Amino acid sequence: MSHKFHPIILKEYDIRGIYQETLTHDDAYLLGQVYSQIVRNAGGKSIVTLRDGRISSPALEGALVEGLATGGLHVFRLGIGPTPLAYFGEHHLKADAAIMVTGSHNPPNHNGFKLTLKTAPFYGKDIQALTNLSPFRQSGGSYEDCDIQEAYLDRITQDLNFDPQLKIIWDAGNGASGEILEKLVKRLPCKSHTLFTEINGEFPNHHPDPSVEKNLLDLQKTVAEKSAHIGIAFDGDGDRLGAIDSQGRIIWGDQLLALFAQGTLKTHPGSTIIGDVKASQAVFDMIKSAGGVPLMWKTGHSNIKSKMKEINSPLGGEMSGHFFFRDRYYGFDDGIYAALRLIDLVSHSGTTLDTLYDQVPQMHATPEIRFECANERKFLVPEEIKARLKLSQISYSDIDGIRVQTPQGWWLLRASNTQDVLVARCESASEDGLESLQKHLTKELHLSKVIIR
């Protein structure tokens, strides 16, 4: 078979491209065949597949399944749903791997694949190596349709407590969580109101990315109208969580991690809690003051999951809204389960989410800032800046990109592993300090000839 993957679609954490331009049905079929070899070489015989609600997902999943079956695997087809359902399916069905067909929060004409092997993320160099494999047919492959939604709902609602007086607004953003969310709220004693649960790959109401403030406007409006206590939003494939309190204040991912850590450290005292390099210093300080050991690590769900398993951490999280509970759960990123843990936390606290949020130190910080940068340049720019800072003897961390520490606070610049952009963030205890940090960052970007729009 002469078909090859377009080199641009093999990303750090997944496979992702523009449908019918850089990502085609032939890619899906080829992926099925070559990944079946990897699974079988690891001693596996079966795999789970699931798809999101994008218009291109049924055709891509169909081609993928054909490739997996002709490669000799038994395929459990779970239909349509959020990415965590695929991860859960691998555990529940005792499968050897899983592939989720999803474009996550990218534009509607994008799509891709998230992969696991033996319940661990398949990423980095392993994804890059796919292009070197040659497919071949293997007898014995087959597939069957499976519905495990009720089993998933049973699992995520066990051992949790929900205050029946709480009023929750849920925004699925027309993403893949919509159908299962409607089933979930019927099980909860809380008062719930749902928004945009019809799965629609065109995302007609707003883009399903809760890390972008404008995408939470409908949620904020409805929380105010309904006098709700908590607002919850999911991304396009349901592995990320966004939240607001009763006042409509956005609780960013790192702030949610700080709240989750307070509860987790009560049952796992002295444990290491992992946050990514974009997280606020206040979060790491809160983890330490609660008796935990804070660890700053590389951004990316695969990086965090792998590190958690390596050091036996009970909890990890990212600024983007990925949360990983190994405490009472499997350790994969599940936005729906994280939402339930938030409600459980509030239910046990004897107070409100607003009051819990007020306990998080409020720093002066930018949101994530994105600068367009060509793929061949985005990893070089942080290296250029590091070389200049060494000459200036300015302190920095290079765990992931470059996080520069100054008396005014810190700023971060790293290459996105999913888009042709550089991602930046600045944080200070004062407005003047934040302005100083932004000027420093801007100066360095100009020196590396990055265009700032």
Instruction: Give the type of residue at 109.
Output: N
Q: Which of 341, 365, 349 lies closest to 427 in space, CA to CA?
A: 365
CA distance 377 to 380: 5
Instruction: Quote the crossing angle between the two packed helices 25-41 and 57-70, to the nearest 10°.
Output: 40
- Residue 104 falls in the annotated catalytic set: yes
Rounded to 5 degrees, what are φ and ψ at 452? -110, 115
Number of H helices, E strands in the chain: 15, 22
Report yes or no: 302 and 52 within 8 Å, Cβ to Cβ: no
SS3 content of the chain, % helix, strand, coil (to 5): 40, 25, 40
Give start and end residues of each alpha helix (H) in 141-231.
Answer: 149-157, 178-187, 217-226
Rounded to 5 degrees, what are φ and ψ at 324? -130, 110
Instruction: Given the residues 104, 192, 428, 436, select the one marked as catalytic.
Output: 104
HSE at residue 434, side-chain half, CA atoms within 13 A, is: 13
Catalytic residues: 104
